[in-house]
Amino acid sequence: LSKVMLVGRPNVGKSALFNRLTRRREALVYNTPDSHVTRDVREGVAKLGDLRFRVMDTAGLETSAGSESVLARTAGITAAVLRECQIALFLIDGRTGLQPLDADVGKWLRKLAPHVQVKVLLNKAEGMHADANGALEAAMGEAHSLGFGAPVAVSAESGEGLADLYENLRPWVEKAQEEMLALQEEESLTEDKTVVEELKRVPLQLAIAGRPNVGKSTLLNALVCQERVLTGPEPGLTRDSIRVQFDYDGQTVYLVNTAGWMQRVKVKEGPAALSAMHARRNIQRAHVVALVLDAEEIAQTKKSMRHAEASLAQWVIQEGRGLVVVVNKMDLLSGRENAHLRSLVMRAVPEEIQKLLPQVTGVPVVFVSALEGKGRGAVMHNVNESYKRWCARLSTAKLNRWLAKVMSRHPRRGDKGYGAKVRYITQVKARPPTFVVFVSGAGKIDDTELRFFASSLREDFGLGGVPIRVLQRSSR
Ligand code: GDP
């Protein structure tokens, strides 16, 4: 069913219209695990003649100057719901005439939901037709000036004007329904396709990092094959800041070697310090960082990572970059006699990473030999997948269906009547994926809870190896 949202400042009659359209006293709870959300969003099935659609009613949008915080608290939820709707019924009060707040709502609506069809309803218009002084005409003219086309005069109380509303809504509702059906059929396909198309327009920034002699330059050459080097070493610097451009699977990749970062602790001035600074900046700018380790050394020392490598891995995640670990020089562990060393390395590194970054499960670990030119495909495949996950966008509908499931699996302390309650989740940003949970009630949910959401999102949506940020906002 297509979704229609009722919007308007307080007291214009949203609830009355909601009740008339849904023909029920009590409203269905909106699709979140928290029944208290009813105060903000009610959802029901509207019957208008032979039309059926979902109707959403919000108590949000209180834009009055005195209660700006109310708007701040509810606008997020309202906006999130509106994003899922195709049509908005924008109610104004036919008796009081147009108020400054109505104009604010209009502005907000136009800016926030350019995809939504808006019909202005002049409510409380019962008996106005009969007014010989032209009150209705005047009010309609005012309503027209909001810029959403011809208004419809209705009375949610008496039911007058609903036939007009039907005539006006029918084409929109039918069209929205058709579009939704078409969309649903294509949903998974389209999602992937558009994301991939979008990504290919933006070059992937890949940084190679690691201690000296682990084989970064060799790996860079292996990845680039015969491709052309875009810019040579910057003046004053050696190979450290070579930037190379190449294509992988239709995706342009900018690759930069950040050899210098290891020196940053020891060296405070001179070219080495400059190179360390460049390296840091290149890592911060990268979308994905490939941390290169030396397989032979791991086999000898029985230690997957030195302190510097471990702290780099942590820093990459902290900076919000995707991480791929590349274990190089596997050729030195070839042959039957090295089988146990090989399996030791292949087991130890993922374990170590998991221990080091418990909050980011699923960091890809690739075992290669750059010298033998083996592993280009494996490295680039994992880098590319990591980049896609880093750019992932999850629809609000999908996220809230997920939230409902998670909450029913793990009933939280806060939902038993004390503490903050989780109402709604939405993704506010990609690159890296960043989510906001809207909470209500006393206080906030604690960090453990936020980490739980992050790791569940990662697991359930396959976002391994990329940092996921989950923030909270209080909604009421
Ligand atoms: P960087 O300092 O990290 O850039 O390391 P280089 O790429 O300069 O490599 C350091 C040394 O390791 C060179 O002698 C390379 O030939 C060698 N090397 C790099 N990759 C491999 C590999 O996969 N296998 C082996 N056996 N040696 C490698």
Residue 155, ligand 1, Cβ within 6 A:
no
| In this structure, CATH architecture of domain 396-474 | 2-Layer Sandwich (3.30)
| Residue 213, φ and ψ in degrees, nearest 5 | 75, 10
CATH of 202-390, one of 3.40.50.720, 3.40.190.10, 3.90.1150.10, 3.40.50.300: 3.40.50.300
Please name the residue whose Cα sits nearest to atom 25 of ligand 1: 329
d(CA 432, CA 446): 22
Among 208, 218, 261, 379, name the best residue to mutate to test ligand 1's pocket (greatest count of ligand atoms within 8 A of Cβ). Answer: 218
* CA 29 from centroid of its chain's CA atoms: 25
d(CA 264, CA 284): 15
What's the pLDDT score for residue 235?
A: 41
Quote the ligand 1 centre to 351 CA distance (angstroms): 24
**Within the chain, which residue ranges are assigned CATH 3.30.300.20?**
396-474
Percent of all residues in the chain with a pLDDT value above 90, rounded to a whole number: 29
Residue 210, ligand 1, Cβ within 6 A:
yes
For 168-184, write each residue's pLDDT tens digit: 999 898 888 777 666 65
Quote the ligand 1 centre to 370 CA distance (angstroms): 7
What's the pLDDT score for residue 155?
A: 92
Please name the residue whose Cα sits nearest to atom 20 of ligand 1: 215
| Residue 264, φ and ψ in degrees, nearest 5 | -60, -30
CATH code for the domain defined by 3-193: 3.40.50.300
Q: Which atom of ligand 1 is nearest to the CA of 370?
A: 23
What's the pLDDT score for residue 295?
A: 96
Torsion (CA) 449, 450, 454, 456 in degrees, nearest 10: 20
Residue 370, ligand 1, Cβ within 6 A:
yes
- Is residue 233 reached through a cis peptide bond, with omega within 30 degrees of 0 on the bond before it? no
ipTM for the whole complex: 0.95
Residue 329, CA atoms < 13 Å, CB-side half-sphere: 17
Compute mean pLDDT per 10 residues along the chain, 476 residues long, and list them: 87 87 59 39 83 78 43 64 87 90 87 85 84 81 90 91 92 81 52 56 87 86 64 43 78 81 54 65 87 95 89 90 95 93 94 91 93 88 93 90 84 56 86 88 82 91 91 76
Q: Which atom of ligand 1 is nearest to the CA of 292?
A: 3
3 state SS of 186: helix
Contacts of 466 (CB under 8 A, 6+ apart): 322, 323, 360, 386, 389, 390, 432, 433, 458
What's the pLDDT score for residue 441?
A: 75
How much is the pTM? 0.59
What's the pLDDT score for residue 113?
A: 73
d(CA 464, CA 324): 10
**Within the chain, which residue ranges are assigned CATH 3.40.50.300?**
3-193, 202-390
Please name the residue whose Cα sits nearest to atom 17 of ligand 1: 215
What's the pLDDT score for residue 419?
A: 66
Quote the ligand 1 centre to 310 CA distance (angstroms): 20
3 state SS of 205: strand
Distances (CA, A) of 18 to 57, 138, 232: 7, 26, 66
Please name the residue whose Cα sits nearest to atom 10 of ligand 1: 213
Residue 258, ligand 1, Cβ within 6 A:
no
